Chain A
Amino acid sequence: MLIFAVKRLAVAILVAITVSLLTFSMIYLSGDPAMALAGESATQQDIENIRRVYGYDKPIVIQYINWLGNALVGDFGHSHYLKTDVASVIFTRLPVTMTLGAAALSFALLLAIPLGVLAAMRPNTLIDRIALTLAVIGQALPSFWFALIMIYWFGIVWGMLPITGSASWLNFVMPSVALGYYVTPAVMRLTRAGMLDVLSSDYIRTARAKGLRPVAVLFKHALRNAVIPVVSLAAVQFGFMLGGSIVIETIFAINGLGQLAWESIQRADLPMMQAIVLVLACFYIVLTFLADLLNAFLDPRIRVG
């Protein structure tokens, strides 16, 4: 187990370094970052000044090492637009996006797991068909469109929910649904497949033969094993949701990391963009690392193989 963990950690660190390299090179996509920053009316002198102040005149390798070294101690530089410390802005916005992600994931799991269990209990019946149809429809709904449809009905026509901001928990209802429903088909299918697999296994037959109550068999014996792969899927999806929240946060004007990313992209605020990409990527790397460890802990075949 320890050897597996160390190996996996080494890979995670290497991935993080590669991602940081890619993120760093992003600023050179637009050509000369100093020129892009100075704007169209800048003189040659202005551009030279900016180049010196931001360190763009140093060799690229030195720039990268400086940037990474600072990032490691939580210093992502100064925002070109907000004229403040990038890290402090990110850390005030991050909790909002985490809350949204957690709420969206809870919604997805609370909907998908019961549906998957129901579908597996009665395979090829009406319930199963309905669950699978919902999954197919869910996968075809673009989330930004679904969000607008909800805003129209629940926000405007029926006036049940607030449509912008992040003042109370009510503000998070529609964004969570819009962000979370996209994950439900995958979780539901996995729960259903896992349950079908487990329910036909010998130990469940034994449990039933012993005369255990069906409810106990289902929840105590079957679901616990069927849900193991769902845990790692949920971890991975949580990472994807944090990255995908940019669209949802923009629509609902939620003051999180996604909206910050969107604003920074519009303002060509390179240090901020880089920092957000790096922070989100590192979150994903940590999440998948933890999910792999958990899986290896629960299923010995993984850590040996």
Chain B
Amino acid sequence: MGMIGKAGVPTASEILEPSSASLMRKRIFGHYGLMIGIGSLLVIFAIALLAPMLAPFDPLDQELSRKLIPPIWSGSAKATWVYPLGTDGLGRDYLSRLIYGSQISLLIGFSAMLISGVIGTTLGVLAGYFGGRVDMVVNFIITTRLSMPVVLVALAVVSLVGNSLWIVIWVLGLLIWDRFAVVVRSSTLQVRNLDYVAAAQAIGCSKMRIIFSEIMPNIMNNLIVVATVEMAHAIILEAALSFLGLGVQPPAPSWGLMISEGKGLMFFHPWLIGIPGAALFVLILAINLMGDGVRDVTAPENRN
């Protein structure tokens, strides 16, 4: 109680301490974009996890006698609640394929993001922390990577190496680490000259320890924002590769592949491309909203 100043004015610590945590909570829950983003992402994640329970049919089960049934909102006489989103050209239930497709998008987005995150963060921290020659070399590697056209190189490599889900994941992961490296490098540069890093150096902490326990926690916010951007990027790229026929192979229910298969039939059955495309859009929008929200909440001063 002795904290109260002489004139009865509370000291700065009394004003700030109780409020900062609740202020943060208020910012997080008051940010509609962040809430909508996290909410939708959780729903999609749950759908992917519970796919075997939610999907009414086997996504690979073909039945030509029931092909191209339109979705229920089409008003067509053929539409039925048995296949709420209709069936594709091979008579596979579109809803089941859509549900299982979320697994592929999330798996590829998350794995490619992890691979590129490890590569980019390592390069960025090394460049930012050690500076000098190391920084020059890392900058050179980043510039080289940026000058290689991503879609073209990914397509060429997949066509030469062969395509499987994991090859696509590795190719994407090895290609899209540049933004991680750029952002982590500049964040590390900002942090490394702060007092607590100097203090850690002064008490004799090893370089590894400083990087992992002083620098990494303090660049985490920026890292999360880049991670969301790159996860969305990887999902779009996988969809584009699968759309061109060099990503995930049929009969797997990748959303990009579903759009590709529906393309030839879109004149009379536009929903074949509309439904998987809308699913992709919602997933990417949710991830982006989450990323923008994290940025706004952790660094409101950088909002503009």
Shortest C-beta distance, A225 to chain B (Å), equals 16
* Residues on B facing A (Cβ under 8 Å): 33, 140, 143-144, 146-153, 155-157, 159-161, 232, 236, 239-240, 243-244, 246, 256, 259, 263, 266-267, 270, 273-274, 277, 280-281, 284-285, 288-289, 292, 304
Known A-B contacts A141-B281, A149-B277; the reply to A193 vs B153 at CB < 8 A is no
Cβ-defined contact, A145 with B140, below 8 A: no
Q: Contacts A11-B140, A14-B140, A247-B243: A145 and B277 contacting too (C-beta < 8 A)? A: yes
Partner-binding segment picked from A45-53, A59-67, A203-211, A277-285: A277-285
Interface-side segment among A75-83, A261-269, A294-302? A261-269
- Across-interface contacts of B266 in A (CB, < 8 A): 148, 151-152
Contact flag A142-B155 (CB < 8 Å), given A19-B147, A243-B150, A281-B147? no
Decide: A140 near B284, CB < 8 A? Known: A148-B259, A244-B151: yes
Report whether A136 and B292 are in contact in the complex, using a CB–CB cutoff of 8 Å.
yes
Q: B243 — which chain A residues lie within 8 A by C-beta?
A: 144, 247
Provide the bound-state CA to CA distance between A197 and B284, in Å.
30
Q: Does A113 contact B (CB under 8 A)?
A: no
Minimal Cβ-Cβ distance residue in A for B281 = A140
Q: Which residues of A contact B150 (CB under 8 A)?
A: 243-244
Is the CB–CB distance between A243 and B151 below 8 Å? yes
Chain A residue contacts of B148, Cβ below 8 A: 19, 22, 277, 281
Please state if A142 and B244 are interface contacts (CB–CB under 8 Å): no
Q: How far is the CA of A156 from the CA of B280 in the complex (A)?
A: 23
B-contact bits for A224-264, CB 8 A (1 contact / 0 none):
00000000000000011011101100100000000001100
Not counting A273-B156, A277-B153, a sample of 18 additional A-B residue pairs whose C-beta atoms are within 8 angstroms of each other reads A15-B140, A136-B285, A140-B288, A142-B236, A144-B240, A144-B256, A148-B266, A149-B273, A152-B270, A196-B304, A242-B149, A243-B151, A244-B149, A261-B152, A265-B159, A268-B160, A277-B148, A284-B149
Contact (Cβ within 8 A) A280 B151: no
Measured CB to CB, the closest approach of chain A to B303, in angstroms, equals: 10
Most central of A14, A196, A273 by chain B CB within 10 Å = A273
CB <8 Å contact, A280 and B152? yes
In contact, B304 and A192 (Cβ under 8 angstroms) = yes
Residue from the list A15, A18, A142 in contact with B239, Cβ < 8 A: A142
In the complex, whether A137 has a CB less than 8 A from a CB of chain B is yes
The interface bits of chain A over 124-152 (1 if a CB of B lies within 8 angstroms of the residue's CB, else 0) are: 00000000000011011111110011011
Cα A193 to Cα B304 in complex, Å, equals 6
User: Inside 8 A of B140's CB, which chain A residues have their CB?
Assistant: 11, 14-15, 18
In contact, B155 and A246 (Cβ under 8 angstroms): yes
Take A19-B147, A148-B259, A148-B263 as given contacts and tell me if A243 and B161 are in contact as well, using a CB distance cutoff of 8 Å.
no
Does residue A30 face the partner (Cβ distance < 8 Å to B)? yes
Q: Is the CB of A281 within 8 A of B155?
A: no
| B282: nearest chain-A partner, CB-CB | A140
| In contact, B143 and A11 (Cβ under 8 angstroms) | yes
CB < 8 Å neighbour of B240 from A140, A142, A156: A142
Contact B281 A29 (CB under 8 A): no
How far in angstroms is the closest Cβ of chain B from A41? 20
Inter-subunit contact A29/B160 (CB<8 Å) = yes
Q: Are B152 and A276 within 8 A (Cβ)? A: yes
Query: Please, how many angstroms separate the alpha-carbon atoms of A137 and B144 in the complex?
Result: 31
Option from B143, B157, B259, B292 in Cβ contact (under 8 Å) with A26: B157
Q: Which residues 188-227 of A sit at the B interface, judged by CB distance below 8 A?
A: 192-193, 196
CB distance from A120 to the nearest CB of B (A): 9
Kindly list chain B residues whose C-beta atoms are within 8 Å of the C-beta of A281.
147-149
Distance between A246 CB and nearest chain B CB, rounded to angstroms: 6
A142-B144 in contact (CB<8A): no
Q: Is the CB of A15 within 8 A of B143?
A: yes
Across-interface contacts of A148 in B (CB, < 8 A): 259, 263, 266, 273, 277
| Whole-angstrom CA separation of A128 from B210 in the bound complex | 42
A30-B160, A139-B288, A140-B284 given as contacts; is B144 within 8 A of A247 (CB)?
A: no
9 pairs of residues in contact across A and B, judged by CB atoms under 8 Å: A22-B148, A136-B289, A140-B284, A144-B243, A145-B239, A148-B277, A149-B273, A261-B155, A268-B160
Contacts of A246 in B (CB 8 A): 151-152, 155, 244
Chain B proximity of A211: nearest CB distance (Å): 28
B146: A residues at CB distance < 8 A: 284, 288
Q: Give the chain B neighbours of A276 by CB distance below 8 A.
A: 152
Query: Please, how many angstroms separate the alpha-carbon atoms of A136 and B284 in the complex?
Result: 10
